[in-house]
Amino acid sequence: MLRSGPFTDERVIGLLNQRFIPIYFDLSSKSPASDIDAKRFVTQLKPELGGSRVPTPPVLFVTADGELLGEVSNYASESEVLGALRDVLRKNSKYAKPSDGEDERSRLARAHTHHYLGEDEEAMALLSGPRSAKESLFVAQIARRAGDLDIAEKVLEGLDSKKFADDIALEHGLLAFARGDVKTMRLRLAAYSEEGARAPEARYFLGIALFHLGEHAQARATWKKLIEQYGEHPFSYRADWAYTQTTDEGLAAERSSFTTQGRKSLLGRHGYMGRNNPDLTRRSD
C-alpha cells in the first residue's frame, strides 16, 4: 500500500532518505523478504506481531537501540505518513540534525530539504531574488502543494515554454486537477513527451483525467501501458491501484481490497490493497 500511495510523494521519499534509514522485511518466515533478526527486534517492541496470524503491521520508527519513536498505519495516506515523519523529527530533534556537508549543497537542494520538513518559509527565503528555471519550477510546486494555485501559475508563466515544456505541462495539469478542471488537465498532460523524466507521473494523471471525463476504458488502457512500460516505478503501483478499483464502465460496483478476489493486479500483487484510491473520487467541474 505504501508503494502505491506515500511512496509516490517526493517529500516522503526525500525525507525518508535524508533523515531515516528505511528497512523492509516480511514477518512471515516463508517470504523471501523474511529476516529472523529483524523480526526478533520488532517483536520485542510489539509482541502482538509475533504470532502466526497477525494484522498488517504498522510502519515503525525505531532507533538502533530499540527505542520506539512513533508509528503510522501501513495504509496511511501520503499526508499522514509525511506528518508522522515530521512529527518524529519534531519530538526528537537530535535525529533531525543535518548530516555532514548538507549545508554545503546548492541552495535548491537545501530548499528541497526545508520543504520536506514542512519549512516552506525557509525554503522560499532561500530561493528569493533571481532564480534559475529549476528553482522557479520548485517554487511553483511549493505553491501548488500549499494551495496557492494562482501564485504557482504565475511562476510557471515566466518560464521558457520550449525548454521546459514537459515540466510546465505537468505542473499545469496538476494545477488543473487541483481546480477540478479535468478537461484542461487532460489537454496539458497529453502534451507531455514520452522521454520526460516525470513521464510515469504524467501518464498516471492523464489516466485520472480520462477517467473523470468518462473515458474509462481509455483510462485503464493508459494505466496498463504505464505499468508495462515502467515496471515497478512508484507511479506504476499507483496506476495498478487505480486499475484494480475500476472497470471499463467506471468505478467497480464492489471494490474489493483484495487482489485475490475479482479484478487482478497487473503487477501481480496479492492481499489487501488498502483504502480507496482518492484520485478516483475527485469530481470534474
Residues 76-85 have pLDDT tens digits of: 889 999 999 9
- Identify whether 207 is part of a domain: yes
Please compute Rg for the chain using Cα positions.
20
User: In the structure, what pLDDT confidence band is assigned to residue 89 with cuts at 50, 70 and 90?
Assistant: very high
Total number of domains in the chain: 2
- Identify whether 116 is part of a domain: no
Residues 54-72 have pLDDT tens digits of: 777 889 999 989 999 999 9
Provide the residue range defining the domain that includes 249. Answer: 193-285
Backbone angles phi, psi at 282, to 5 degrees: -65, 150
Question: Whole-model pTM above 0.75?
Answer: yes
Domain closes at, from 74, 95, 116 = 95
- Identify whether 225 is part of a domain: yes
The CA dihedral of 243, 248, 252, 258, to the nearest 10 degrees, is -40
Q: Treating both helix axes as pointing N-terminal to C-terminal, what angle do 165-179 and 182-190 enclose, rounded to 10 degrees? A: 170
Backbone angles phi, psi at 104, to 5 degrees: -95, 0
Domain closes at, from 40, 75, 95 = 95
Residues 173-228 have pLDDT tens digits of: 999 999 999 999 999 999 999 999 999 999 999 999 999 999 999 999 999 999 99
Return the C-alpha cell found at 62. 525505531
What is the Cα–Cα distance from 202 to 192, expressed in whole angstroms? 7
- Identify whether 231 is part of a domain: yes
